[in-house]
Structure 1
């Protein structure tokens, strides 16, 4: 995991207790994909953003790509494809 200044390519919005977030973190680690992680419970602005792209729901994990597109609970394969890693 890195911060947005060093890796703006992939931002993952999470919570500490979310099992789907744990699965995505593990998949990103296995594929050696660097990303910025933001806990929406610790960052109110992040929670607002997640809600704005998920019909008002704070659904995690939500992924933000550098091109501004988002995905909610995406499979690791979709992320690899979007990042051009496959």
Structure 2
């Protein structure tokens, strides 16, 4: 995986805010709509330790963050 993936839904206000902040910060991402993508809920449930919360972000290294802020994402992307 070589891109940031944001699992979100059209009805999620937190998701809209995170995607807008990523866009303003010039951090590219791929969006996955959890309502329309088979298997997405299972992926975010695994990342969330049994709970499915959005936005869930999967970093290029395969690690995941649940409802992160842009600064946390920036810091994780900067790590080797």
* Corresponding pairs, count: 78
Measure the CA separation in 2 of the matches of 1:81 and 1:12.
Answer: 16
**CA-to-partner distance for each residue in 1:40-73, whole Å, 9 max, x for gaps?**
1101211110111113222100000111110001
Query: Could you say which residue in structure 2 is the equivalent of 1:35?
Result: 29
- Output the TM-score relative to the length of structure 1: 0.83
Contiguous gaps of at least 5 residues in structure 2: none
Query: Could you say which residue in structure 2 is the equivalent of 1:16?
Result: 10
- Output the TM-score relative to the length of structure 2: 0.89
RMSD of equivalent CA atoms = 1.3
Which of structure 1's runs of 4+ aligned residues deviate more than 4 A? Answer: none
Q: Structure 1 residues 15, 48: CA separation in 2 closer, same or farther (over 3 Å shift)?
A: same
Query: Could you say which residue in structure 2 is the equivalent of 1:65?
Result: 59
